[in-house]
Amino acid sequence: MDQSGQPDNLSPILSDQVLFNGEAVLLTFTGDGKLRFTGQSQRCLTVEKEVLGFALEGSRIRVKAVVEKRDGICCFGNSGVLVRQSFVFEHQSQDSLTIWSQKLRDYIDSLGRPKRLLVFVNPYGGKKSANKVFSEDVKPYLEDADIHITLIETKHQLHAKEVAKSMDLSKYDGIVCVSGDGILVE
């Protein structure tokens, strides 16, 4: 418990006045990994489930997230289609920006997310749609999450198996297959 009687993980780690969509809002990052921003309305992003990553852009932090879309508006709930969305927060000082980016980085790193992935794409897999699926549906999410990708397009049957046997797979946190079921069978 903190001094106010709240559980420690609900206490603010950081709280600062920032600009969001041209409006001054209070941005708070809590110990349970929630980014809350309140102005005329209140919003909340759960870092573990919704935030892919972030980027620094001058005095701004662009938080890259996946949120639910219902009826043309983005919502924060438990149903609906997932869409990528960015939330841009402009900080009033370089010190504030530095502290926020370090705390966000530390929290995201503590989640144990992969940093390096080996990606096999079978251009003939999935009814010959694997390249399109990777470039349009998979790659943007991996890039938003700052994951380093090693991409290998398979050339023939059993190619993925040959490559996997000859590589040092310990350099990767995981292997992603974009294909029909062929690469998984290999």
The predicted structure's pLDDT at residue 50: 96
**pTM (two decimals):** 0.82
Which of 14-18, 74-78, 95-99 has the lowest average pLDDT?
74-78
Structure tokens at 125: 């897999």
Q: What does pLDDT average to over the chain?
A: 88
The predicted structure's pLDDT at residue 182: 73
138, 178 Cβ separation under 8 angstroms: yes
Q: Who wins on pLDDT, 141 or 3?
A: 141
| pLDDT over 90, % of the chain | 69
Q: Is 28 exposed, middle or buried (0-12, 13-18, 19+ CB in 10 A)?
A: middle
Amino acid letter, residue 60: R
Active-site residue among 8, 109, 137, 181? 181
CA–CA distances in Å: residue 114 to residues 28, 86, 100, 108, 146: 26, 21, 22, 11, 9
How many whole angstroms separate alpha carbon 41 and alpha carbon 25? 9
User: At 107, is the secondary structure helix, strand, or coil?
Assistant: helix
137 is an active site residue: no
Tens-place pLDDT, residues 145-172: 999 999 999 999 899 989 989 999 999 9
Which of 2-6, 12-16, 56-60, 83-87 has the lowest average pLDDT?
2-6
